[in-house]
Amino acid sequence: MRKAFHFASPRERYQCDAAIVWCFDNRFEAALKKLVKRLGLAYYDPIRIAGGTKYLASPEQERDRQFLLEQIRISMRLHETRTVILMLHSDCGAYGGLNAFENDSRREAEHHRQELSRAAQVLKSEIPELIVNTYFVDFEGVWETDSEVAAAVRTA
């Protein structure tokens, strides 16, 4: 093995401020970074899979949901995570992109709001002690989809 470059990383264990369930579509990377900064998250566990929150709300197979739930449980066990942020974004290929909504961005946003609500319900029923916050990201901004849950995250 050959060292590619030097990097000093802290060795101390950390307590996670949140686990973030998010898609791996890089077009929205800046939005994720800004949200993390705005929420003041020092440490977070990114759980990035195609479609992200879709795995909780409407998985193609039940094993997909169980996989994601297990990743969240691991974050809780290893990093004492108590908050999960669920995110969906516009033009997500896992949902068929904006074309699946006949290029109607309002219809797409409403569908994803419902998916986020369904995913939060699933997560809370499986792991009731979690605080769950939900966001929809489009090409113009990041939208809170449940301000009541968001308020709980800010005060926790």
Q: Would 13 be classed as within a structural domain?
A: no
| Coil, helix or strand at residue 14 | coil
Q: Is the pLDDT of residue 152 over 90?
A: no
Region 5-12 average pLDDT: 88
The verdict on residue 7 lying in a domain is no
Q: What is the SS3 assignment for 42?
A: coil
- Is 2 among the domain residues? no
For residue 85, is it within any domain? yes
50 in a structural domain: yes
Q: In this structure, are strands 18-22 and 83-89 parallel, antiparallel, or unpaired? A: parallel
Q: Looking at this protein, which amino acid is placed at residue 122?
A: V
Structure confidence by residue, pLDDT tens digits, 114-144: 999 999 999 999 999 999 999 999 999 999 9
Q: Is 136 a domain residue?
A: yes
| Domains held by the chain: number | 1
How far apart, in whole angstroms, are the C-alpha atoms of residue 23 and residue 30? 13
**What is the pTM (predicted TM-score) of this model?**
0.89
Coil, helix or strand for 44? strand
Give the CATH number of the domain where residue 112 resides.
3.40.1050.10
Per the structure, the complete domain to which residue 26 belongs is given by 18-155
The verdict on residue 1 lying in a domain is no
**pLDDT-derived band at 148, boundaries 50, 70, 90:** very low
Q: pLDDT digit string (tens) for 92-113?
A: 999 999 999 999 999 999 999 9
